[in-house]
Amino acid sequence: MDLMGHGSIVTIDVKKLHDLSHPRITYLLGSSTAPDIVEQVRLRVAASRGPVLIILDSDHSQKHVAAELETYATFVTPGSYYLVQDGVIDTLPMMHGDRPGPLPAIDDFAARHAEFEIDHERCERFIISQHPRGWLRRRTNP
Ligand SMILES: C[S@@+](CC[C@H](N)C(=O)[O-])C[C@H]1O[C@@H](n2cnc3c(N)ncnc32)[C@H](O)[C@@H]1O
């Protein structure tokens, strides 16, 4: 972003994980679905001129991912993406204790939100992926 001369990041976590800082990064402390946090993101999105990409990589439970997907959907700009991380949890035997995870949330969201499509080319670019069906593109002509 520094090389391009534009762009910024808003990142959210319930825990303060470090003391790093960068002028392009805003760290918000709280739950990604808490109304005051969502309002801060909404204001940033409203003030933004460029495309908005949203990456979901917090609590990977189906319930939380579903809530995040509904909460941030309108912030993703047409042609840009939701990246829902770690759907692989729902496919690996060794992670069965962490299910249901992101995949059923993605499938339910995609079935109800025709303005988004799963970008299979991007999802299946490599032989394996941590984020199956995780790239959701917001259509430009829904
Ligand atoms: C898989 S880690 C990812 C961390 C970070 N995205 C990264 O790539 O380094 C999940 C993080 O989500 C945070 N988390 C858990 N529940 C959350 C919630 N409701 N809202 C925001 N963050 C949450 C955890 O504290 C943890 O740091």
Say how many Å lie between the CA of residue 43 and the centre of ligand 1: 22
- Counting the structural domains of the chain, the total is 1
Q: Which residues pair with 28 in a beta bridge?
A: 12
Task: Answer whether residue 142 shows pLDDT above 80.
Answer: no
Looking at ligand 1, which atom is closest to the CA of residue 57? 6
Instruction: Express as a percent the part of the chain with pLDDT over 70.
Output: 99
Spatial distance between the Cα atoms of 28 and 19, rounded to a whole number of angstroms: 13
Q: Model-level pTM greater than 0.85?
A: yes
Query: Measured from the CB, is residue 71 less than 6 Å from ligand 1?
Result: no
Q: Please, what is the Cα angle at 27 between 139 and 22, to 5 degrees? A: 100
In a domain, 17, yes or no: no
Say how many Å lie between the CA of residue 14 and the centre of ligand 1: 7
In a domain, 63, yes or no: yes
In a domain, 87, yes or no: yes
In a domain, 24, yes or no: no
As a whole number, mean pLDDT of residues 78-105 equals: 96
In a domain, 32, yes or no: no
Containing structural domain, residue 81: 51-138
User: Could you tell which of 54, 58, 62 is best to mutate to test the pocket of ligand 1, judged by most ligand atoms within 8 Å of the CB?
Assistant: 58
In a domain, 39, yes or no: no
In a domain, 101, yes or no: yes
